[in-house]
Chain A
C-alpha cells in the first residue's frame, strides 16, 4: 500500500514552508509546527510516520520529541497508515441525537470494518470524531476537507460510490473556495 518514497517536500512546498514560518515572530519557528504537520500528512500518504515527523523537526530546527508530543495530542494527525479516504464521522451531541450511531453502524456494516480500521483494499478508513460544528445539519461526516451533511443511508451509499470511483487520496487541502453558495 505504501511504497517507499523519499521523505522530502518538493521545491514549491519548501517555499510554502518558508512563507508559513515567516508568519510567526523571528526565532519562534516552532509555531509553524501544526500547519507543517498538516502539509506533511497530506504529502506523505495521509499519516505521520516517525521519519516524516523527524523530517518536520529538521525543517523547524526543533527536537523530534517536540514533534511527536504534538502529533499525538491532536486528533487530526494519523499516527498509523490510513485508507485513501478517511471517513470522519461526528458522534457528538446533536449528531448523536439525529442518528450518528446509526450512520456509524451502517458504515461499519457496509465497509466490513470497525471504526478505527481500514478496508483491505486501502480505500477507506472510518474514524469517529467529536463535534465538527455541523450540528444544524446533522448527522454528518467529513472526508478530506469536504463536509457531507444531513446524512441518510442512501446519501452515504452515494458518497462512498463517488469516492470509490474517484479513487483519489483525499486531504484537508482539497478545499476549494466557492465564491457564492
Chain B
C-alpha cells in the first residue's frame, strides 16, 4: 500500500462523526497549534512542508499565507474553496463527505495561523448534501469547544460558516468565488490587488482548496519537515487523485508523489488497467483544463524517462510534450475514444462556463465550439484546424482569469498530438459516423 496521510482513516466506521474522529487523533493539531505555537510558527511549518496548492495552480501555500496583509483593526478571512467543479475532479467531494472533521480541523488551525476570526467554506451548490454534512460537523465542533469564543482558553475565537454556491464553474477561480460569496455574479476580479490584500468585503483574505487545508493538519501534527520528506523533489507530500474514464477501478486515490504514471494506471492498487481490456489512447492528467497527452507521452517523457505523478515530471517537456498535475483529475481514454469529439465536449463546457467578461474568452470559446461542431458535422475543411489553432492562441494570456487558458490548452494539445484525427474527419467525413456512443461500443442494450 502507498503512503496515506489524509485518507489514513477514511474506512474507519463512523469517522464522519465527531466521537470516532476525535478517538482517531482528530483535533490534536488544533491543540498543538493553539497551546504551543504562535500563528507565525504554524505558517513556518507550512512553509517548511513545501505544501503546494492542491486546487490546480500548485502555488506554495506557506508563501501565499505570508502575503496576507495585516493592517491593524481590519478583519481577515480564510475562505475554503470547495467549489470543486473542474471536470474529472471529485477528490474534495470524497474528503468532505467522508471525513468532514478533517477539513474543519484544518480550517481552525489555518485560520489561527492567518489571524482570521471568521472563516467560510464556499461549497458548490450541487453539493447540498455535503453542505449538510459539513454543517453537522461544524455544530459538533462548536459543541465540543473547537469553534466559538476563546477556544481552549487560548483567547483565540473563530466562527466557521458554510456558504453554498449555485452552479458556476468560474466560481472556483478565487476572486470569482469571493464575488459569489458577496452575493454577486461570479465575475473574476482584476489582479492586483490580490485577495491577500483586498479579498472578501475588501478585507485581506486567503482562499485555499479543501485538500490544501486538510494537509495542514498532518503538517502541524508531524512537523513540516516530516511532510516534506514524503514525495519527490518539490512535489512534497501526498496528492488525492480522482481517477475516472475508461479504467477498471475509478475512484479517489491518495498517492505519494513520485509513483510512475504506468503504475498508477495499470496496477491493481490504483486504476487496475483499461476497461474491457482495451488499449490506452490518451490521458488528461489534471482536470479538463490541462493538455491532453497520447499514451506514449503520458507513460514516458520525450527523453524516454518514466513519467511520474508529480508536479515536475508531468510538466516535463513543457506544453510541447508534457502537461500538468493540475487538480489531479485523471481522465483516461481508451482506443475507441474520439479525441475530436471529446474536445468538442470540453469546448462546449468552457463556452457554457465562460462568465462573459472578456471578449477573447466569451467569443473565442463559442467560436471554437462552432468550428468543432462543423468538423463533426462533416462540413469541416483543413483551414478550420488552423482556425482553431489561431483562436486558442488569441485567447491564451488575454483574459482576466485563467479560464481563458483552461479553454485554450485542451484545443492546442489535441491539435498538437492528434492532428491526423482532425484531418481524417475533414477528408473523410464518413469516418465520423464510426464515432459510436459508449453504450453501443460496449454492446449495452437499451432496456
Judge whether A64 is part of the interface by a CB distance below 8 angstroms. no
Decide if B143 is an interface residue (CB 8 Å cutoff). no
Q: Are B185 and A136 in contact (CB under 8 A)?
A: no
Total interface residues on B, CB under 8 Å, equals 72
**A96 / chain B contacts, CB cutoff of 8 Å:** 342, 345
Any B CB within 8 A of the CB of A38: yes
A50 within 8 A of B: no
A3 at the interface (CB under 8 A from B): no
A28 with B166, Cβ < 8 A, contacts A94-B245, A97-B438, A133-B85 known: no
A76 near B84 (CB under 8 angstroms)? no
Determine how close the nearest CB of chain B comes to the CB of A175; give it in whole angstroms: 4
Contact B184 A70 (CB under 8 A): yes
The stretch of A5-13, A115-123, A149-157 in contact with B is A149-157
* Binding stretch for chain A, among B47-55, B124-132, B424-432: B124-132
Task: List chain A residues, Cβ under 8 A from B245.
Answer: 94, 97-98, 135
The one of B13, B164, B337 that contacts A34, using a Cβ cutoff of 8 Å: B164
Q: A73-B186, A96-B345, A130-B352 are in contact. Are A101 and B437 (CB under 8 A)?
A: yes
Number of interface residues of A (CB under 8 A): 59
Interface presence of A17 (CB below 8 A): no
CA distance A18 to B124 in the complex (A): 22
Complex Cα distance A28/B169, Å?
24
Chain B contacts for A133, CB-based, 8 A: 84-85, 89-90, 92-93, 124, 126-127
Task: Judge if A112 is at the interface, Cβ distance under 8 Å.
Answer: no
Chain B residues in 8 Å Cβ range of A99: 437-439, 444
Interface: B16 (CB within 8 A)? yes
Q: Which residue of B lies closest to A23 (CB)?
A: B161
A177 touches B183 (CB 8 A): no
Which residues in window 303-322 of B have CB below 8 A to A?
none
Flag if A33 contacts B88 (CB, 8 Å). no
Set of chain B residues within 8 Å of A49, measured between Cβ atoms: none
User: Nearest-CB distance from A72 to chain B (Å)?
Assistant: 8
Write out, one digit per residue, whether chain B residues 340-378 have a CB within 8 A of any chain A CB (1) or not (0).
001001100100110100000000000000000000000
The reply to whether B243 and A136 form a contact with Cβ atoms under 8 Å apart is: yes
CB within 8 Å of A: which residues of B?
Answer: 13-17, 75, 84-90, 92-93, 118, 120, 124-129, 131-133, 136, 161, 163-169, 180-186, 201, 242-246, 250-252, 284, 288, 329, 331, 333, 337, 342, 345-346, 349, 352-353, 355, 437-440, 444-447
- In the complex, given contacts A93-B349, A138-B244, what are 7 additional A-B residue pairs having Cβ atoms less than 8 angstroms apart? A25-B118, A28-B182, A73-B185, A130-B352, A133-B89, A137-B250, A177-B132
Closest 8 CB pairs of A and B: A99-B438, A33-B183, A74-B166, A75-B167, A175-B129, A135-B244, A76-B167, A93-B87
17 A-B pairs (CB sep. < 8 Å): A33-B184, A34-B180, A74-B125, A75-B168, A88-B126, A92-B349, A93-B288, A99-B438, A129-B126, A133-B126, A135-B245, A135-B331, A142-B126, A172-B128, A175-B129, A175-B132, A180-B15
